[in-house]
Structure 1
Amino acid sequence: MRVSRSLRATVLLGVMMLSAAGWAAGKCERLIVTGSPDSPPYMWRDPQDPRHLMGANADLLGQALRELGIDVEFLYGGKRAQAQEEVRSGRMDMLADASLNTAWLERFDYIHPAATYNEIVVWVRTGTQADIQAIEDLHSLAGAVSQRTRLTPEFESVAAGELQLQHTSGLTAALQKLVLGEVDYVLAGRYAAMVLVQTLGLAATLQALPVVVDKPGFHLALSFNSACLDPWLHGQLVKKMTESAASGLADEAVKRNLDVWKSQLLAPVSKQ
């Protein structure tokens, strides 16, 4: 009986060692990450090195992966749809700013909670006497939104059926329509619009209302075709993103990157 127990213990130890060795051999050591190149302060191309992306989500994920002993590089993978395809195919490992979309649950392994959230608010001309407290108050007004502004599917459905929205090529164009009186309001991310309003010298002309009409999250999403797809990594990133939200680290990253983006917008254009 003693021999049998000793043998079982030896076999069990061997299995555990083989399992540990197998996990270590397959452990992810490097991630190639991409995302939207035009979503500051969350993610955008580094003007000093356009091959790479920068932003709040890059900072948060980069810090988390360094603490886990994993190298990471944030590479430009093309415009938003191109970047998504790079990750879906497995040519790149992860999106750092994926919108939550039920159709994509078969393409990506989403990390919850989101790394950051974008508050969509209503911008109006200063002094406008519109009593806007909820989305219902926008029904009779003409509005604009940049086609680059990401909204939740639920809000997009409501907007399509209930709001009179013009879609512009970018946020600057939408704000210009508001200044000229061509629309009554603009729907835009609080932080992105705030920086543009300041840099365009419109701080005395436009203001954001307190009501938040939508709050889409920017998630980390690992490709199901990535060699780094691993339950351990998923669990560790869930823990890291939960901690960063609770500690205020995510908010700090957004505010820090707002300042960086604003300084880039105000920097003089160098002549080649």
Structure 2
Amino acid sequence: MFSQPGDAVQCSKLVVSGNPEYPPLLWVPRDTPKVLVGAVPQFLKEVVKPLGLEVEVRNIGSWARVQRLAELGELDLVAGAFITSERITYMDYVLPPMVQLPTNVWVRRDKVFQYRHWPDLVGKRGSTLINNSFGQNFDSFAEENLDILGVRSIEQSYLMAEIGRVDFVLYELLQGKVKLERLGLEADFVALAPPVSKEGLFFAFPKKSRCNNEPLREAFMDELLALKRAGRFEQLIDEYAEKYVREVR
């Protein structure tokens, strides 16, 4: 149990969730659909073990729902979020980021178009997850200039691109590779360069969480930094990418 003298509330367990469409970092296993597994949940457990905290990483639905419940204070920690101006109003981010993630424009290999920068996407139709963010600058540009359909699962985005309903899919490079391999579509799609953005992925404590206090955040940060310096997160990414692709559907 994490506490300090004078604390009004003691925190013994973190109720956690994150983006369920984010393998190998987070995903919903077939045999236990009420939880999330992946590199991030395992990394989180190793971060908080020295603090004596239990962790419950729940599958509570879509990424949009996760963000809404974080805003309401019904979660103690969000396991993996980019920084946006909206999210910092209701979450306290823990430094450093777990990893820097590039997001790319994915297209069918036989439908490649010239892409150099964001304006090359104007006039085309894309798809990605509902309420997904790819950095404040790109998000602002996309809202004003691009036609991007938000859907509940990234598989839906890729399948729409496969049949020509959209021209491109916006998704992280790492996650896109393992998703396509699992779908058996890795030979059909290519990620265009350069990335549309490269953003840090952070743990974040909702401001209304009863577990959110400065001593806990500082202790959490110290353990996170030590594991990052040891290269632990990169090891877990490799391990869980293999597990995700091999998981029986």
1:57 to 33, 37, 40: 40
Contact 1:57 1:116 in 2 (8 A): no
- How far 1:173 moved relative to its partner? 3.2
Gaps of 5+ in 2: none
Contact 1:31 1:71 in 2 (8 A): yes
2:89 is the counterpart of 1:132? no
- How far 1:183 moved relative to its partner? 4.4
Q: How does 1:219-258 map to 2 (within 5 A)?
A: 219-258=202-241
2:145 is the counterpart of 1:145? no
Going by fraction, where is helix more abundant, 1 or 2? 1
After TM superposition, the score normalised by the length of structure 2 is 0.81
Instruction: Give 3-state SS (helix, strand or coil) of 1:256's partner.
Output: helix
| C-alpha distance in structure 2 between counterparts of 1:198 and 1:187, whole Å | 17
**Whose RCO is larger (CA < 8 A, sep 6+)?**
2
Residue equivalent to 1:190: 173
2:189 is the counterpart of 1:206? yes
Contact 2:47 2:227 in 1 (8 A): no
Contact 1:77 1:86 in 2 (8 A): no
After TM superposition, the score normalised by the length of structure 1 is 0.75
Instruction: Give 3-state SS (helix, strand or coil) of 1:237's partner.
Output: helix
Cα root mean square deviation, aligned: 3.0
Contact 1:143 1:187 in 2 (8 A): no
Output one character per residue of 1:18-71: Cα deviation in whole Å (capped at 9) or x when no partner. Answer: xx9726996533222222333322223333222222222212211000122222
- How far 1:181 moved relative to its partner? 4.3
The percent identity for this pair of structures is: 24
Output one character per residue of 1:97-118: Cα deviation in whole Å (capped at 9) or x when no partner. Answer: 2342323334222212223443
Contact 2:21 2:153 in 1 (8 A): no
- How far 1:120 moved relative to its partner? 0.9
Contact 1:109 1:223 in 2 (8 A): yes
Q: How does 1:1-272 map to 2 (within 5 A)?
A: 22=5, 28-126=11-109, 130-139=113-122, 142-148=124-130, 149-264=132-247, 267-268=248-249
Output one character per residue of 1:53-92: Cα deviation in whole Å (capped at 9) or x when no partner. Answer: 2222212211000122222221233433433444444443
| C-alpha distance in structure 2 between counterparts of 1:127 and 1:21, whole Å | 60
Moved more, 33-42 or 162-171: 162-171
| C-alpha distance in structure 2 between counterparts of 1:32 and 1:105, whole Å | 20
- How far 1:234 moved relative to its partner? 1.0
Amino acid of the structure 1 residue aligned with 2:60: G
Amino acid of the structure 2 residue aligned with 1:146: T
| C-alpha distance in structure 1 between counterparts of 2:4 and 2:167, whole Å | 63
Amino acid of the structure 2 residue aligned with 1:242: L
- How far 1:184 moved relative to its partner? 4.0
Amino acid of the structure 1 residue aligned with 2:145: E
Residue equivalent to 1:8: none
Instruction: Give 3-state SS (helix, strand or coil) of 1:132's partner.
Output: coil
| C-alpha distance in structure 2 between counterparts of 1:212 and 1:260, whole Å | 26
| CA distance 1:197–1:88, change in 2 (3 Å) | closer
- How far 1:169 moved relative to its partner? 4.9
- Residue-pair matches, total: 246
Amino acid of the structure 2 residue aligned with 1:145: S
